[in-house]
Amino acid sequence: MTPTDRVGKAAVLPGYAGAMSTETEHTDEAPTPRRTKTPQTMKPATAAKKLGIYLPAAPEAFQGAEVTRTELAELLENPPEWLAVLRREGPHPRDVVARKLGVSTSGLARGEVTEALTTAQITELLAAPPEWLVRERATQAEVRAENARINARNAERQARGE
């Protein structure tokens, strides 16, 4: 059989494991040992996002090293003091600030909130909300109501079999 012979639509190439061939090759060589798996790592920014923290506020050791999935699981399960303090007091990343204020991240941008906020700053904003925050919270409430209406309509359609 030559390399240009075809079986179905796939070319049969010598040594190609995916090729369909009726010939069997026997070798006296031992099978190649499997590689040991290296732990899967992520960049510090990805780990910070998964932990819900603002990366520039994290310790230098965390900012400069990749994090394995095992280490991330350990940080989530048993957070060290620095992580607990960051989560509790901030500064918080934009998505966390938006969630705590009850607005979207786009709403933060429209309100010209560009920096990370601490829990104390968020509490101050909620205690005496500026006009942009009142407006954005109303917009977010409208969006949630519209989404609930659409979900109810879709559930009703599905129940009727449409």
pLDDT in tens, 109-161: 999 999 999 999 999 999 999 999 999 999 999 999 999 999 999 999 999 88
Instruction: Determine the Cα–Cα distance for residues 44 and 51; give it in Å rounded to an integer.
Output: 10
φ and ψ of 32, to 5 deg: -70, 135
Least confident of 32-36, 40-44, 46-50, 83-87: 32-36
pLDDT top residue among 7 and 105:
105
Helix H or strand E segment including 151: helix 131-160
Which SS3 state, helix, strand or coil, does residue 142 take?
A: helix
Per-residue confidence (pLDDT) for residue 123, from 0 to 100: 96
User: Which pTM value belongs to this model?
Assistant: 0.68
Share of the chain above pLDDT 90, in %: 71
Is the Cβ–Cβ distance between 53 and 87 less than 8 Å?
yes
Decide which of 94 and 25 is more confident: 94
